[in-house]
Structure 1
Amino acid sequence: MEELGISELADRKAYTLSGGECRRAEIARALAASPSFILLDEPFSGIDPIAVQDIKQLILHLRDRNLGVLITDHNAAEMLGIVDRAYLITDGKITLKGTPEALVESEIAREQYLGHNFELRRSRI
């Protein structure tokens, strides 16, 4: 909990936590088992913009620790800004895969999901 900066949450009831605090506590719980890989399902969903930045910073920290992080999220702008590889899945099948830059340049990704005005913003957190 100390590594994630959430030691102050240790004695609080889960129902009193904000969305961002809850998300960080969920990640801390997953890390307690010392995994080599974790899955984050919609980590940017239901949290405020400040918490989104905190979670992105945490994900980058985990990556820098050589922990594998698999993210499923519909928030393409936030997710594509921090990942090394991305997959576009349509009807349960991988439609496209590659770097975020390659996906953003793909006409298929723009037509099916991103839209033609989508711009990739890499995080510098």
Structure 2
Amino acid sequence: MSKVSVLEVKHLKKKYRDRTVVDDVSLYVQEGEIVGLLGPNGAGKTTTFKMLLGFIKPDQGNIFLNDEDITDLPVYERARKGISFLPQESSVFRDLTVWENIMMFLEFQALDPVEMKEKAKSLLDEFGIYHLKDQKASTLSGGERRRLEIARSLVINPSFLLLDEPFAGVDPVSVQDINHLIKDLIRRDIGIVLTDHNVRETLRITDRAYILAHGKVICEGSPQEIVEDRTVRKIFLGEEFTLS
């Protein structure tokens, strides 16, 4: 039986001058599960997320990928090891077509021209945007753009995908659409870490979630356990919050 892939952080700390923004944070995600990273503004979510990716180096603590310490590895080395990232801001090349956007990333893979075209078509088909392949990315709707970005993030066949605000800038119908797309990624045995201000939608698709406040993990558990936690309701969700 093959070993389950795990991305894990242990006792991360980050301080800016006299302010500790991440204080002894530990969490993990396994392949085939969706884990939420949530909390109020200033909780330390973004800093933790950036340390996972390698954009920020922790002052203390370690990041492990399948028991290998990757704390000091740069972003591109983490990508080579199977950690992909979807940023909040639009990352498509607006003046290129949908096809050109995905082929640009495939150029960096060890594939011959035929294999590249087959993979590009397969990914665009999977995400329902092959019919848009000749359109400029600037003409895409928010939901279509997100589909392209997610498809492109899968070019490296990642083991883990980190999604930063995937519901940002899209209409309510597209939010549901992206919700289903993220769930479908589990079929690929990808582990997903997701942070978004749309707490209800995030909790609807996560298997587990970590709630941060003042740089610390104050709660970890299933969506239902998160919602029922008194401390979380008091400082983050509010007393009237429901998943429905």
Q: Give TM-score, length-normalised by structure 1.
A: 0.90
Per-residue Cα deviation, 1:28-65 (whole angstroms, up to 9, x for no partner)? 11011111111111011111111001101101100133
Larger Cα Rg: Structure 1 or Structure 2?
A: 2
Q: Is residue 92 from structure 1 mapped to residue 215 from structure 2 by the alignment?
A: yes
Alignment match, 1:62: 185
Paired with 2:151 and 2:221, the residues of 1 have a C-alpha distance of 29
Question: Could you report, residue by residue, the CA deviation over 1:62-112 in whole angstroms, capped at 9, with x for unpaired residues?
Answer: 013321111011111101011100011123322211111110000111111
1:1-125 correspondence to structure 2 within 5 Å: 1-121=124-244
Local SS of the residue matching 2:125: coil
Larger helix percent: 1
2-side partners of 1:14 and 1:2: how far apart? 16
Q: State the structure with bigger RCO (CA 8 A, min sep 6), 1 or 2.
A: 2
CA distance in 2, matches of 1:24, 1:81: 19
Q: Which moves more between the two structures, 2-11 or 42-51?
A: 2-11
Report how many residues are paired. Answer: 121
Instruction: Name the CA distance, whole Å, in 2 between partners of 1:70 and 1:6.
Output: 24
* Higher relative strand content: 2
Runs of 5+ unmatched residues, structure 1: none
SS of equivalent residue, structure 2 residue 206 = coil
Runs of 4+ in 1 over 6 A off after TM superposition: none
Q: In 2, distance between residues paired with 1:21 and 1:62?
A: 17
Return 85-94 or 53-62, whichever deviates more.
85-94
When the two chains are superposed, the root-mean-square deviation of aligned CA atoms in Å is 1.2
Unaligned stretches of 5+ residues in structure 2: 1-123
